[in-house]
Every structure is written in structure tokens, then in C-alpha cells.
Amino acid sequence: MSAHEVPEELFFLDRAQSRSLQAQIRESVVSAVVTGRLLPGARLPSTRKLAKYLSVSRLTVTLAYQELVGQGFLAAAPRSGYVVSDAAPRPHISRVPHLEASEGIDWGAKLPRSLLERRQIEKPLDWRSFPFPFIYGQMDMSLFHHNAWRDCARQALGRRDFEDMARDAAADDDPMLVDYICSRTLPRRGIAADPNEILVTVGAQNALWLTIQLLAREGLHAVCENPGYPDIATALRWNGARVAAVDVDQDGLPPDDLPPDVDVVFVTPSHHAPTAVTMPPSRRLRLLQAANERDFVIVEDDYEFEMSFLTPPSQALKSLDGAGRVIYVGSFSKALFPGLRLGYLVGPEPFIRQARQLRSLMLRHPPGHQQRTVAYFLALGHYDSLIRDMRKAFAERREILTRALENKGLEISGAASFGGTNLWIKGPDGLDSLRFAHELRDDGVLIEPGAPFFENSSEPIQFFRMAYSSIPSGRIEEGVDRIAGRLFA
């Protein structure tokens, strides 16, 4: 081997990764070049030699090398194969000796408040490896229209769209997506809004955080549901608010139980998190009447209304609001896939104008390509087609799950009247659902324990959530059998 020949050991492949083998070969070369481990003129192993070493086809290596030539990292040398190009990017970092620190930084003192102990809903990243994943909010690849999504993403990368996407949009959102939200999404919830009353966010979580940041002030008194989505109470307290947790009943949040000096109420009326119960129209009107009489704001998280396969979903609380007291939070991530992280805020124009400025300080705007891809996916009918298929599949799974639970004597404590994707289960008295959920993992079963949803509970929580959105119909009964087998052993 000559002094300038690159050893095959520089290359390695991880076949467990989702990235293609060709991409991994290219990444190995790029990393070595940009870090200075490979210098101009260094000769790479022949395509035949490297293919044999990596146990891949020679074509895979050839295509990787040719792509690197096109990018300027490699050059094809006559009768010598491929070498690192003289024009390849090179590191321009001057090496400076590190200063020796006398002692480490006390980050506990630098960060006086900690979020490490907050209540969190566990979402195992390896949930697909479990045969019985009754876990909420994850994507079922067997239902998603991937080819349609890929076509929309490719269309969003077209020349005209790319020019729109590549510009600095400052605090603006994609007009095509906003137009769809105005003309198609919100009318389905009975809501009429102008573009200046809508803000696109990085998921519903970002929308809730922006809202809390804008409303937070010294002495703010906020109300959350109990049980309820734990991140809302955490974010409120982080921003200095006083938080009261009001217990929900079979109809959701009772307006008559609100404390006397409340400033803002966070509520999930159409599909309570986590019990999934629906607040009836009469109670919604009472809540709005209380807001008008007592001068407080309502923040409505209207997630998962699309999954209505039993009955049409009730109108959003925002649609009944004539005084502009309701801030509405919506999400595309729930219906499409959680990694999308795209949602929206709807509110009076003065509120949205301030929210836009606050978002601009944080992240300017959500990625333009994601916004335009979603806009095409919605406008071309793929979204409606996907929702149709999901409703059909979820209706079947819900029926199987409900029947299996009843056959095993498990009590369904909460369910969305219109459909949804999960059931709220009440376990036997004395059950610690947190411990029970960890034990079930040994049986290949995932459920969501109820403990993170409850405020200030020192006793074990017997409730747990079971979703049917990510588990095939054919595995539901066996999964319930395993739950009952361990529960009643």
C-alpha cells in the first residue's frame, strides 16, 4: 500500500440504521475529508476491493464514489481509481491549546430551577419493538400514505416553491397553508377566522408555550384539568403562575368548581386528556358565560377531532365564543405523524400579532418546506383520504379492544363519544399503574400509566390509558389477555 492509499478500515457500515449503505459510505468519506484525516491526493480503495471488504455490491460503492465526485470531494484519476480532490473542502480551524480548568462549573448554582423532576408521560423510542403497543400518539406506518407525502415533498421542492421557501420569511407563515386552515380546517370546527388571526407553530406544544408566555404575569392565577396534560401546569409554574388543578368528572371540567380569582383556564372540551370524555354543549356554554362574567381567558386544546368515526364531533368551544375570549390550539401532528411538529394558534388579531412577535424571537417561523409540503398534502386531498382510512381502521380496533376489555372484566372509565384513538381504564383498587406498566413490558405490552396526569397525588394511581392507533387489530385480544393475566394472576 502506498503512503497515500486509504485503508479499508476507514469505512464501516451499520446495517441496523435506516440510512442506505451508499449514504453511509459517502458519509465516511465526507467526515474524513472535512476533519482533515484525508488529504488531497489520497487514493481510495478500488470499488472492487471496498465492496468485498464491506460485503456490498460493487455498484453501491461505484454510485457512492460518483456522487462524491459530483460534489467535489473526489476526483476520478486515469488508471488510478478515485482520489481526494484538490478542491475538496478542508478544515480551516487553527489549533489552540486548551486552558486547564481548576475546577468544574457548578451547574446547580447556574441553573437555580430544574425541570428534571417534572411529571412526564413516558414515550419509549423503541415502542415498535413491542408486539402489543397500546401507546398513544404514535404513527401507524401501515396506514400512512407515504408515497403521497413524498410526492408533496418533492413538489414543495420545485423551483417556484423553493424560491418562496428559501427566502427569509421573517415572522410570516406559508400563505398556502394558512389559506387552507382558514378555508377548510377551521370551518370543520365551526370556526371562522382571517389569516391575521392564525399563527403556525411547531406543534401544539409550541402553541401552548407561546400562549402561556404571553399571558404570564406576576400573580397570574391559572386553572388546569385534573387529571390533565402535565406539561401545561409545569409551563405555567415555570413562568411564575399560580396553578389550581380542578377535578374533572364524566362531562369534563365543571365550571361551577372554578376558583373565584381565576385569570385563565386551560381545557380540552372535545376530547379530554387523558380520559377522552367530551364536554356537553350546555357545560361549554356555562364555561363561556363564566368567562364573560368573571373576565378570564380560555385556552382550548382541540386535539384529535379528526378521528370521528362514531358520531360527528361537537363544535369547538371557540366556535361558540362571541367575545374573543377563547384561544384555540390545533395540530396537524396528531393526524399525520408526531415527528411533523406542526400546529397552529387561532385567536383575536391583537393576541396573534403579539404571538407572532414572540415566536419570531424564538425561532422566526416553522420550516418553510414542512409548511408547504403539508399545504400540498391537504390541498390535493391526501389528508382527507388518509383520515378516511384511519377512521375505518380505528373503528374496527376500538370495537375489538372494547369487547376484549369487557370480556376480561376491565372497566372502561372514559372514552370519546365521537371515536378518538384511546380508552381510559380503571384498574382494581390499590393498583399502582406506574409499576404495573413497567411489569407489562416484560410481556411485550405497552400501556400509559395514569400517574403523570394527576396533580399532587401521593397515592398509587389505578388508572391507565390504552390507545389503539398503533397496534394491529390482530394483536389486540392477545395484548388484553396478557394485561388481564398479569392483573388478575
Residue 2: per-residue pLDDT: 44
Verify that 286 and 349 share a domain, yes or no. Answer: yes
Fill in the DSSP letter of residue 294: H
Q: Quickly tell me which residue has 417561523 as its cell.
A: 365
For residue 206, the number of C-alpha atoms closer than 13 Å in the C-beta half-sphere is 24
Q: Is residue 280 domain-resident?
A: yes
Q: Is residue 91 domain-resident?
A: no
| Whether 148 contacts 377, CB under 8 Å | yes
Q: Is residue 99 domain-resident?
A: no
Fill in the DSSP letter of residue 241: -
466: how many CB neighbours lie within 10 A of its CB? Answer: 24
Burial of 261 (0-12, 13-18, 19+ CB in 10 A): exposed
Task: Provide the angle, in degrees to the nearest 10, between the axes of the packed helices 203-215 and 349-363.
Answer: 110
| Whether 329 contacts 296, CB under 8 Å | no
412: how many CB neighbours lie within 10 A of its CB? Answer: 15
Burial 418-444 (b: 16+ CB within 10 A, else e): bbbbbbbbbbeeebbbeebbeebeebe
Below-70 pLDDT ranges, the chain: 1-4, 91-96, 98-99, 101-102, 169
Cell numbers given for 126: 423503541
The side-by-side arrangement of strands in the sheet containing 326-331 is 198-201, 343-346, 326-331, 297-301, 264-267, 221-226, 242-247
What CATH number should be reported for the domain holding residue 483?
Answer: 3.90.1150.10
Beta strands in 359-475 (DSSP E): 411-415, 422-426, 445-446, 448-449, 463-467
Q: Is residue 192 domain-resident?
A: yes
Q: From 380, 415, 445, give the residue that closes a domain.
A: 380
Verify that 355 and 287 share a domain, yes or no. Answer: yes
376: left (phi over 0), alpha (psi -120 to 50) or beta: alpha
Q: Is residue 120 domain-resident?
A: no
Residue 365: per-residue pLDDT: 86
Q: Is residue 118 domain-resident?
A: no
Verify that 376 and 393 share a domain, yes or no. Answer: no
Verify that 299 and 399 share a domain, yes or no. Answer: no
Query: What are the CA-CA distances from residue 393 to residues 59, 147, 396, 397, 477 (Å)?
Result: 41, 19, 5, 6, 16
Residue 3: per-residue pLDDT: 45
SS3 36: coil
Burial of 1 (0-12, 13-18, 19+ CB in 10 A): exposed
What CATH number should be reported for the domain holding residue 210?
Answer: 3.40.640.10
Q: Quickly tell me which residue has 403539508 as its cell.
A: 374
Phi, psi (rounded to 5 degrees) for 177? -70, -45
Domain encompassing residue 425: 127-138+385-487
Residue 488: per-residue pLDDT: 86
Number of domains present in the structure of the chain: 3
C-alpha 138/C-alpha 434 separation (Å) is 20
